Structure 1
């Protein structure tokens, strides 16, 4: 990584979306080289090209150059303008892959975001639409972004998709709030949704029963909703999945989700997701690993004040380290980790992540 003529240079395809979002928010041009240059199929994948098209559509004045082999791109960001549009997502990724970065841009746009996404609504390894509603929207509210909606009009299961999701962001803000979260939340309730498309509704009940049998020992109130989709709104493929969210009285949430694959049993899926949720709770601080990147983005573009979040040491993984390196490269701000002196519920693995905001202001709104 280096800076040549005001262009920040990155290598590889890691954090592709994040680098483009950071570039858009900072107004700094970036160049990404050696994108899968050693692979049998080098260069950008179809979903990355699709994301670039989406980014170009929600901004005005952005300039994107892609090399002949697709292994190098130069991105010069424009102004975030938002507006109404429809985006067809490739079935190699779920719509969550595209919605998540849009949530980081939408509050700082010139016009309100009103986007319809077509494609897969849930896919293993990607953030699903339910996890976005229950996991990411509450985090955005903590930073002052309160009027975002996500409507699932059609469910689209892998492999053929056919889902339709409507994202609306009605609130435009100049700067995110600075947050200080130094207490680990106590979770009092577990919510969830088990869904199925083009299969027997009994599959949903089997997932709910197996998840409840695991979660009843937690002492929390458990409420898992059945969501059965039929006909045109059920997409093009049969499928099922479950999303669980542990909720505290102050609105903090931890998420676990899974999508059924070929030959997987609904009972196994419900039980696995319940155990994953319990593990996430024990290995998370105030926020889960689903939400930590979004929290860092909002902290870095906040007021020139230091924001602090209590996290668990197990949340410091390769993905977080790469993200913090990219933040430092573009914004020049480093994260500071401080070990906690006292134990919390017998666990001494909690640390405080501190980040100083860079005083970002919503230029797009000012022009509007």
Structure 2
């Protein structure tokens, strides 16, 4: 086995997840140091520890340093094998961030996973974003999987559940061109709450709709309310759908003392920013696409609403594992264009 790739994990958990994903798929070991050292609670936290353990099971990896709050970890992957796993993150840790790490290695073999944790939590893509924005974007590469939200889980209790099943496809992946936004056809709104009055979800949706009235398109609204649940919280997810298959997503979450109207307006403002950028890739999707662009055969492009630190970190890690050519035009916090010459991994 080659020497482990040295990875600087100071930037956050995303660096760890991307490293795990590409290591498990390519068979390249890595050692990550200074794990999340720039965060208030540095080192491996429960959700990161769960990601390491899950990926290790998927590819029968040898791991060193996988203990709580560890700041250094070595991961030596074996071969990805078909697997069926049940994972409980044990907190409101994000279920979708765990699945992000699992997606690349699941290109090889069928992986079935049921995950308990947080499906609608801060600083992570909600379950509706995973299925409404990420899933159709990855389909363009030739990545196919089944995903279902079984139960919502909010911070801090969690108790949400999702199911995932990969559909291994033919490698290498196809190159993509996400540079045109197309014509806006509809905006889908899913407003949801648990252990709260249904009016909370209704008021969230009403506020979002009012904020987005300037757009002459179909408004598709869904209200979800679970008055008696073992989790408590609310949120609103928006999905803008275009005639060329592009999707832009935005969301906002409720919090104690935060009015429902504010939640709806907040989600609408996020979507407005993406819509007015006239770019087909929103700020949250951009970094998630990079590993797949690096794996694809040929040159892929996208134009994004904003260059984020997550995007820059994803580029740096992907280049370490795949040695692909990636160029970016645009400053941090501004719209950008990314070009990736993939390695045609098969």
TM-score, normalised with respect to structure 1 = 0.85
Separation in 2, partners of 1:247, 1:296: 22
Partner of 1:334: 325
Alignment of 1:227-266 (within 5 A): 227-231=224-228, 234=229, 236-266=230-260
Partner of 1:345: none
Partner of 1:319: 310
Matched, 1:273 2:301: no
CA gap of 1:285–1:200, structure 2 versus 1, over 3 A, is same
Q: Count residues in correspondence.
A: 339
Q: Contact conserved, 1:194 with 1:208, CA < 8 A, in 2?
A: yes
What's the CA shift for 1:334?
2.6
What's the CA shift for 1:284?
5.7
Q: RMSD value over aligned CA atoms?
A: 2.4
Separation in 2, partners of 1:38, 1:155: 30
Matched, 1:296 2:293: no
Partner-residue secondary structure (3-state), 2:212: helix
What's the CA shift for 1:90?
3.0
Partner of 2:302: 309
Separation in 2, partners of 1:181, 1:103: 20
What's the CA shift for 1:225?
0.6
Partner-residue secondary structure (3-state), 2:257: coil
What's the CA shift for 1:164?
1.5
Partner of 1:145: 143
Partner of 1:25: 25
Partner of 2:121: 123
Partner of 2:4: 7
Partner-residue secondary structure (3-state), 2:256: coil
Q: Contact conserved, 1:32 with 1:73, CA < 8 A, in 2?
A: yes
- More off after superposition, 278-287 vs 252-261: 278-287
Partner of 2:102: 102
What's the CA shift for 1:311?
3.1
Partner of 1:192: 189
Return 5+ residue gaps in structure 1 as ranges: 340-348, 362-368
Partner of 2:62: 63
Partner-residue secondary structure (3-state), 1:80: coil
Separation in 1, partners of 2:3, 2:102: 25
Q: Contact conserved, 1:104 with 1:294, CA < 8 A, in 2?
A: no
Separation in 2, partners of 1:39, 1:208: 34
Separation in 2, partners of 1:297, 1:46: 24
What's the CA shift for 1:71?
2.1
CA gap of 1:84–1:205, structure 2 versus 1, over 3 A, is same
> For each residue in 1:179-221, what CA deviation from the matched residue of structure 2 results, as whole angstroms up to 9, or x when unmatched?
1233233322111211111111111111111111111112222
What's the CA shift for 1:37?
5.9
- Among 170, 183, 186, the residue aligned to 1:173: 170
Return 5+ residue gaps in structure 2 as ranges: none
Structure with greater Cα Rg: 1
> For each residue in 1:313-355, what CA deviation from the matched residue of structure 2 results, as whole angstroms up to 9, or x when unmatched?
xx2222212221222222222312468xxxxxxxxx8654221
Separation in 2, partners of 1:271, 1:149: 31
CA gap of 1:38–1:163, structure 2 versus 1, over 3 A, is closer
- Among 179, 183, 190, the residue aligned to 1:182: 179
Partner of 1:365: none
